[in-house]
């Protein structure tokens, strides 16, 4: 019996000029290398979008208005006047969608050439008008931005209220939140804008601890990874003498805030880049299945854990787990994930995850099935 024709050769690059250079660069690379290269391209762009959004919020603040709100004890109004709106993050949100499309094109271009039993080439394609997938990534991007802005607003409301209750003047409470203008650069530094609510609380207790000489919290500060170690000697000296450091408390807190903001931008950019690429890879295969170019039973996916200093034991236990394309990976705690960083999974399984899924197509089974369909067997 004649064997089905199965040809695997060089990848043909799609006609889209936007992603052509990326596709050419990614030829012949492993799925891991493709993912790493895409992440290297898109993470910086997302980080820039994030930083620009926070900078835009800072630059548009009218301090006098915030102070007036706080003088009337109108915390909600003060937060509202900070201008932390989803629309400020439009570029960041759009870049997530662009990364998704780049991931889709790269996934398709990495698929080998196949021909059916009649010799016709099977053309894999990424549907840029894939309405369902496009809607899903846009929903995800919008949810991500909304979640961050809501967390910022609630965190700032809490800090405003706490500082006023502790006796801070409205002017000082406002400056603690929005930062102080550097006379050299003319830009605001420090402050809490862009931080998570947890980071805001940390910056706030650092300031209070250094000012008041709270030895317990000062020792806790020395264990923070995002502290400015340049202040360590001063903090240790103050601890030894049992005194506070009101003259540099603000500087210590501001340096923590600046480092925390940089770290926050990196984490957000990495997470959203990888989530977009994960969604794109899954959708790329899903599109080929829907178009009849691949059979779902011929596709499997395998979980690959990436060893790191602060790795998740549950994800490490999932190393090598292989499931069918439409089946979820299952973590030891029962959490089901379509792929690493599944946007529908709880945050304890997604943020900071560096795992990846490897998709495999059983080309022999695919070719045999197509041959049997061709000859009526």
In a 10 Å sphere around its CB, with 0-12 CB exposed, 13-18 middle and 19+ buried, how is residue 64 labelled?
exposed
Q: Whole-number mean pLDDT of the chain?
A: 88
pTM for the full predicted model = 0.84
Does residue 192 contact residue 258 with C-beta atoms inside 8 Å? Answer: no
Cβ neighbours, 10 Å, residue 292: 8
Distance in angstroms (rounded) separating the CA atoms of residues 303 and 280? 17
Q: What is the pLDDT of residue 374?
A: 60
Q: Is the pLDDT of residue 187 over 90?
A: no
**Chain segment 252-305, per-residue pLDDT in tens:** 999 999 999 999 999 999 999 999 999 999 999 999 999 888 899 999 999 999
**How confident is the model at residue 55, as a pLDDT?**
93
Q: Half-sphere exposure of residue 268, counting CA atoms within 13 Å on the CB side?
A: 29
pLDDT digits (tens, 9 = 90+) for 42-79: 999 999 999 999 999 999 999 999 999 999 999 999 99
Asked if residue 112 has pLDDT above 80, the reply is no
Mean pLDDT of 217-239: 97
């Amino acid at each position: 019996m004649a064997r089905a024709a199965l040809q695997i050769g060089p990848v043909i690059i799609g006609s889209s000029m936007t992603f052509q250079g990326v596709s050419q660069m990614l030829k012949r690379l492993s799925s891991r290398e493709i993912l790493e290269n895409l992440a290297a391209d898109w993470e910086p762009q997302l980080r820039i979008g994030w930083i620009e959004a926070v900078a835009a919020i800072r630059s548009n603040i009218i301090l006098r208005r915030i102070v007036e709100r706080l003088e009337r004890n109108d915390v909600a109004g003060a937060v509202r006047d900070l201008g932390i709106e989803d629309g400020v993050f439009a570029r960041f949100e759009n870049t997530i969608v662009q990364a998704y499309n780049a991931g889709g094109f790269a996934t398709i271009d990495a698929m080998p050439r196949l021909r059916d039993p009649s010799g016709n080439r099977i053309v894999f394609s990424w549907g840029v008008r894939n309405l369902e997938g496009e809607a899903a990534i846009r929903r995800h991007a919008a949810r991500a931005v909304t979640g961050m802005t809501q967390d910022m607003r609630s965190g700032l409301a809490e800090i405003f209220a706490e500082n006023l209750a502790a006796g801070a003047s409205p002017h000082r409470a406002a400056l603690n939140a929005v930062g102080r203008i550097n006379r050299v650069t003319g830009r605001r530094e420090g402050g809490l804008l862009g931080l998570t609510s947890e980071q805001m609380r940390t910056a706030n207790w650092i300031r209070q601890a250094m000012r008041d000489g709270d030895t317990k919290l000062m020792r806790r500060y020395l264990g923070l990874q995002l502290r400015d170690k340049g202040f360590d000697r001063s903090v240790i000296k103050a601890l030894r003498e049992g005194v506070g450091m009101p003259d540099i408390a603000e500087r210590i807190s501001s340096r923590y805030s600046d480092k925390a903001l940089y770290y926050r931008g990196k984490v957000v950019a990495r997470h959203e880049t990888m989530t977009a690429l994960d969604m794109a890879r899954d959708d790329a295969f899903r599109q080929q299945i829907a178009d009849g170019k691949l059979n779902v039973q011929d596709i499997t996916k395998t979980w690959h854990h990436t060893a790191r200093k602060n790795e998740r034991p549950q994800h490490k236990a999932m190393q090598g787990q292989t499931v069918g394309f439409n089946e979820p990976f299952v973590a030891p705690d029962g959490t089901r994930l379509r792929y690493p960083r599944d946007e529908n999974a709880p945050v304890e399984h997604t943020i900071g995850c560096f795992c990846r899924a490897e998709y495999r197509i059983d080309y022999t089974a695919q070719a045999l099935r197509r041959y049997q369909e061709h000859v009526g067997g």
